[in-house]
């Protein structure tokens, strides 16, 4: 059994604020005795950038256009899936990631996972984030799961833009054939040598994070990852709940089953928002979190921008905080 994440408390996002006074001395620096940040001589923890919602939405528009041009979906074994993968891969390649396409077969059709490594960091301590990139055949899959795919892509691009040099190694993944039963992610985990599996400190999953009648759900798995997300939302003044809409219903399940610490975020699928949930989150009680779940109306109109923005920022925060 693996220890919770790195097995120690993380001082996520703790950044000292110092003020230069007129005389040039530095005010607000803690004395050595009460200094709680990194030891002298080590770099201060870098804070994650705000993830630009406009960029995340631009990726969603591209996924929508791809679906529209390819029979209305981005499903496994259909041309809209491969076009989605090529779009994400081109962005990552241009940003300096080392990308790899992993092929598999499911239901007689070729499927693809996309794996992107950010060069550097300790290869024995890998922090991973992933999302399924396939839709169902009945629609374009913009909330399920263009939302997670776009936010993970934008987080990876933010890593590149900022020149972030984390202590741990970062790996991002886009899974194929999730909608056929977690096929792509299971294929990846099963094909990883067990020595490499043991190097994954944590896997963070994002499947449906812009639901139109959103809830703010955090996976109740690895305690360090869970706390990282909960603390982030607490800082925003946004209440969270534990994800209960089907444990094991997304790509974190194969990782969890292999003993990898997992976590993630979710804004709700076809369960209905209760009145207590509407009281704390707004939106409509008695209606599903996503009334277009697995249907043709899961378009760019099926996104709550506030939820997408908060969850995207939370992903970036967690990647930064957990990898330093
Ligand atoms: N994985 C499901 C899908 O893609 C959506 C889903 C339902 C889900 N319940 C969940 C995702 C709980 C994460 C957690 O269709
Ligand atoms: Zn999904």
- Nearest ligand to the C-alpha of residue 264? 1
Return the domain boundaries, the chain. Answer: 17-33+46-322
In DSSP terms, 169 is beta-bridged to: 126
| Band (251; pLDDT cuts 50, 70, 90) | very high
pLDDT at 45: 85
| Nearest residue to 120 via CA among 74, 152, 82, 165 | 165
Mean pLDDT across the stretch 139-159? 99
Q: Which residues pair with 175 in a beta bridge?
A: 132
* C-alpha 157 to ligand 2 mean position (Å): 22
pLDDT for 43 beyond 90:
no
Cβ neighbours of residue 102 under 8 Å, at least 6 residues apart?
A: 112, 113, 114, 115, 184, 187, 188, 191
Q: Say what the pLDDT of residue 158 is.
A: 98
**What average pLDDT does the segment 20-47 reach?**
44
The burial class, CB within 10 Å (0-12 / 13-18 / 19+), for 312 is buried
Pick the CATH number of 17-33+46-322 from 1.10.3720.10, 3.40.630.10, 3.40.50.10480, 3.40.1080.10: 3.40.630.10
Give the 3-state secondary structure of residue 166. Answer: coil
Look at residue 28 in the predicted model and tell me its pLDDT.
30
Per residue in 206-219, pLDDT tens? 999 999 999 999 99
Mean pLDDT computed over 224-233: 98
Task: With cut-offs at 50, 70 and 90, classify the pLDDT of residue 24.
Answer: very low
Structure confidence at residue 6 as a pLDDT band (50, 70, 90): low
From the CA of 144, give the closest atom in ligand 1. Answer: 4
Predicted local distance difference test score (pLDDT) of residue 159 = 98
Residues with CB under 6 A from ligand 1: 144-145, 178-179, 207-208, 243, 245-246, 249-250, 266, 269
Q: Inform me whether the pLDDT recorded for 3 exceeds 70.
A: no
Would you say residue 16 has pLDDT above 90?
no
44 pLDDT band (50/70/90 cuts)? confident
Q: Average pLDDT of 216-244? A: 97
Do 112 and 82 form a contact (C-beta atoms < 8 A)?
yes
Cα–ligand 2 centroid distance for 179 (angstroms): 7
Mutation choice for ligand 1 from 266, 288, 295, 302, CB with most ligand atoms inside 8 A = 266
State how beta strands 168-175 and 217-218 pair: unpaired
Asked if residue 35 has pLDDT above 60, the reply is no
Cβ count within 10 A of residue 133: 31
pLDDT > 80? residue 157: yes
Q: Please state the pTM of the whole predicted model.
A: 0.90
Atom of ligand 1 lying closest to residue 251 CA = 1
Active site residue 178: yes
Span 66-121, pLDDT tens digits: 999 999 999 999 999 999 999 999 999 999 999 999 999 999 999 999 999 999 99
The mean pLDDT value of the chain amounts to: 90
Between CA 308 and CA 296, with CA 216 as vertex, the angle to 5 degrees is 55
Q: Quote the pLDDT of residue 247.
A: 78
pLDDT tier at 38, thresholds 50, 70, 90 = very low
- Give the pLDDT confidence score for residue 42 in this predicted structure: 54
Q: What is the pLDDT of residues 171-209, one digit of tens each?
A: 999 999 999 999 999 999 999 999 999 999 999 999 999
pLDDT higher than threshold 80 for residue 4: no
Tell which atom from ligand 1 comes closest to the C-alpha of 205. 13
Residue 215, SS3 per DSSP:
coil
What distances in angstroms separate CA 274 from CA 233, 243, 281, one per listed residue? 20, 14, 10
In the DSSP assignment, the letter for residue 179 is: G
The arithmetic mean of pLDDT across residues 293-321, rounded, is 98
Residue indicated by tokens 């975020």: 265
DSSP conformation class of 9? -
Confidence of residue 248 (pLDDT cuts 50, 70, 90): confident
């Amino acid at each position: 059994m693996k220890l919770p994440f790195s097995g120690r408390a993380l001082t996520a996002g703790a950044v000292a604020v110092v003020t230069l006074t007129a005389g040039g001395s530095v005010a607000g620096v803690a004395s050595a005795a009460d200094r709680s940040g990194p030891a002298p001589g080590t770099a201060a923890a870098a804070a994650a950038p705000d993830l630009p919602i406009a960029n995340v939405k631009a990726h969603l528009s591209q996924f929508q256009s791809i679906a529209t041009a390819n029979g209305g979906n981005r499903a496994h074994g259909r041309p809209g899936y491969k076009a989605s993968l090529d779009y994400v891969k081109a962005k990552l390649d241009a940003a300096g990631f080392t990308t790899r396409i992993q092929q598999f077969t499911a239901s007689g059709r070729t499927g693809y996972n996309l794996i992107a490594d950010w060069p550097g960091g300790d290869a024995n301590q890998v922090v991973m984030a992933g999302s399924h990139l396939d839709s169902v055949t009945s629609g374009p899959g913009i909330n399920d799961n263009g939302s997670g795919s776009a936010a993970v892509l934008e987080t990876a691009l933010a890593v590149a833009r900022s020149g972030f040099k984390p202590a741990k190694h970062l790996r991002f993944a886009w899974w194929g054939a999730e909608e056929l039963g977690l096929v792509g992610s299971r294929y990846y985990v099963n094909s990883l040598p067990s020595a490499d599996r043991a190097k994954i400190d944590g896997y963070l999953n994002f499947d449906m994070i812009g639901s139109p009648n959103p809830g703010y759900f955090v996976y109740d798995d690895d305690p360090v990852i869970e706390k990282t997300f909960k603390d982030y939302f607490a800082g925003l003044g946004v209440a969270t709940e534990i994800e209960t809409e089907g444990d094991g219903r997304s790509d974190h399940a194969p990782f969890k089953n292999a003993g990898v610490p997992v976590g993630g975020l979710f804004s709700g699928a076809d369960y209905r928002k209760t009145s207590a949930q509407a009281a704390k989150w707004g939106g409509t009680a008695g209606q599903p979190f996503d009334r277009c779940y697995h249907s043709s109306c899961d378009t760019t109109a099926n996104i709550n921008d506030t939820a997408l923005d908060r969850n995207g920022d939370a992903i970036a925060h967690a990647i930064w905080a957990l990898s330093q």
